Amino acid sequence: MKARKIVEEMDSYVPGRSQDEIASDFNLKKEDIIKLGSNENPWGPSPKAMKAIEDEIKSINRYPESQLHELVSEIAEYSGVKDSQVIIGGDGADEIIDVLAKTFIDDGDEFIVPLPSYMYYEYLLKQYGAKPVYAKWDLDENKLDVESIYNSITSKTRMIFLCSPNNPTGTLIDKEILIDIARKNPDILIIIDEAYFEYSEVTNKDLINEYDNIFIIRTMSKVLGLAGMRIGYGLACEEIIEYMHRIKPVFSLTRLSFVAALNTFRDKEYIEDSIKKGIESRQYLHDELSKIDGLKVFPSKSNFMLIGIKDTGFTASQLALELVKRGIIVRDCTSFKGLDEYWIRISICTLEEDKKFINVFKEVLN
């Protein structure tokens, strides 16, 4: 059976290795492995979410809710928007991106991604015949190269993806820049990825009331501690949301994901605590890593930070291997377009795990 041409040309998306694989390959105990590679919440999910999942298990023989009104209202309240400005997706924020592509992309359209950034945008949109055009982040100044965005726009540009805080640099984009891009390009959808906005304590959600070409992506996989439940949501003007609901799968959220999400949003204390501990962990890691000679540590507004290691004598793959042998998982950023082989990314952990990582990291470098 012959696949579509674009499918034959694509490479499969390769996620990070599992803890089980690493434990087996390096003769480690799974429970001793410290994960700093996936930008997760290391303190676990909300206890209220776990209790709700336990109570709901008896109902998994029934189809889930299709309209999700109760959860939509919780998200709208959390985000400070109207119910009609919210769309919810399963498979994390990735389904939201996929529905955006199905709704607004035609074969031959172009979309802009400044490099380095989250590469799944490209992976999803190319499936629908869209062509990526690369702008760039200024790594010397640690900020978006705005002119590279404007220089990349053509008559075929349909979307611009702007991740803020950006993955993997941790950089925020100034709101005035976002406004300028949206205002000057009313026929282009400006997609602002706010997957990590809670850690930055900055949001651009108010812009959806002023610009009908701005779409904000969010996820429950970070601060909200539900990476394993795969829940994402989007915020935009009512017209965009209505179009997307025509395309979105009806039952993309399971019954367990629904109750987990609902009860997480209602657990205000858990959310506040997760943000507080995450920022404390980020600050500790930045302070300690900044004391180590040979590292270029990017300040971050997210739950991760980018580290240049060129002066250490290691490549990213070499350093990541030495660390994983000792039970520490970091992200080798060699696969990120726009970065060379001398960058790693680490994410927050508990302070106890942070301290162990710092000690092991120094040991490897020495």
Percent of the chain with pLDDT over 70: 99
Domains of the chain: 5-44+269-365 (3.90.1150.10), 47-266 (3.40.640.10)
DSSP 292-345: STT-EEPP-SSSEEEEE-GGGT--HHHHHHHHHHTTEEEEEGGGSTT--SSEEE
Backbone φ and ψ of 310, nearest 5°:
-55, -35
286 pLDDT exceeds 80?
yes
Q: pLDDT digit string (tens) for 130-177?
A: 999 999 999 999 999 999 999 999 999 999 999 999 999 999 999 999
**Confidence label for 66 from pLDDT (cuts 50, 70 and 90):** confident
Q: How confident is the model at residue 104 (pLDDT cuts 50, 70, 90)?
A: very high
Predicted pLDDT at 12: 75
R_g of the chain, CA atoms, integer Å: 21
> What is the distance between the alpha carbons of residues 361 and 359, in angstroms, rounded to a whole number?
5
**pLDDT per position as a tens digit, 8-50:** 777 777 666 678 888 888 888 888 899 999 999 999 999 999 9
Residue 303 phi/psi, 5-degree rounding, is -105, 20
**Tens-digit pLDDT profile for residues 249-263:** 989 899 999 999 999
Considering only CA atoms, which of 126, 137, 170 is closest in space to residue 7? 126
What was the pLDDT predicted at 45? Answer: 98
HSE-up of residue 102 (Cα within 13 Å, Cβ side): 14
Is 282 a residue whose pLDDT tops 80? yes
Q: What is the pLDDT of residues 190-245, one digit of tens each?
A: 999 999 999 999 999 999 999 999 999 999 999 999 999 999 999 999 999 999 99
* Strands of the sheet with 343-347, listed across from one edge: 34-36, 328-332, 343-347, 304-308, 296-297
**Confidence category of residue 118, pLDDT binned at 50, 70, 90:** very high
